[in-house]
Amino acid sequence: MQYITRYQKDNDGTYSVVATGVELEQSHIDLLENGYPLKAEVEVPDNKKLSIEQRKKIFAMCRDIELHWGEPVESTRKLLQTELEIMKGYEEISLRDCSMKVARELIELIIAFMFHHQIPMSVETSKLLSEDKALLYWATINRNCVICRKPHADLAHYEAVGRGMNRNKMNHYDKHVLALCREHHNEQHAIGVKSFDDKYHLHDSWIKVDERLNKMLKGEKKE
């Protein structure tokens, strides 16, 4: 078992730590002794148990799936939990005592599942998930307006792209986007992005462009 015994906060908000119980090969030691840093992945176990709010989200989405497909809530939940166990190599997941991290991953998986199969969310479920980044991401990927859920939405930029720029040739990785229907996209431009964020509570909600979104913004076919 590895342990972190000391820490120091760095200027960028991350931490430098001292770890014990780490196994190193001779090649690693040689690099360190010659002044070369080693790349390492450090994962600290999440000791926090899932919240009541997370349980509500999971069961609300499973109820929406039942209403659409007729599949009982319990069998849907167990099926998706099993899928997450296989994907991540987890032991059997229990919603009585799993961590907040595992619950968050399960919520993200169910959201992705619902968007992939075009399963509608009830108003109550949408309200529960209104500030959930995973919901905003998958709504944007599937081009459903994040405000009214209308399909075939625009990919609206937070940062101005610049006049004369060819969006199909430029990379958008330094940009942030959300799916907005034409009506809400026009409103964003009319009142300005800051006022738009204030009105619809979208502060810190814009999605940083990843490879998938970059391809969509360049007009490439969605996977």
Output the six-digit token pair for 143. 């081009």
Two structure tokens written together for 60: 């609300």
Rounded-to-integer distance, Cα 4 and Cα 46, Å: 14
pLDDT at 185: 97
Classified as helix, coil or strand, 5 is: strand
Q: For residues 93 and 81, is the Cβ–Cβ distance under 8 A? A: yes
Strand 207-208 with 176-180, pairing: antiparallel
pLDDT tens digits for range 52-89: 999 999 999 999 999 999 999 999 999 999 999 999 99
pTM over 0.95: no
Q: Who has greater pLDDT, 68 or 222?
A: 68
- Cβ neighbours of 168 (radius 10 Å): 9
CA distances from 146 to 3, 6, 34, 52, 130 (A): 42, 43, 52, 24, 9
Q: Given a cut of 60, is residue 198 above it in pLDDT?
A: yes
- pLDDT tens, 137-178? 999 999 999 998 899 999 999 987 766 555 666 778 889 999
Q: Of 134, 133, 111, nearest to 121 (Cα)?
A: 111
Sequence-ordered list of residues with C-beta below 8 angstroms from that of 113, at least 6 positions apart, any chain: 65, 80, 119
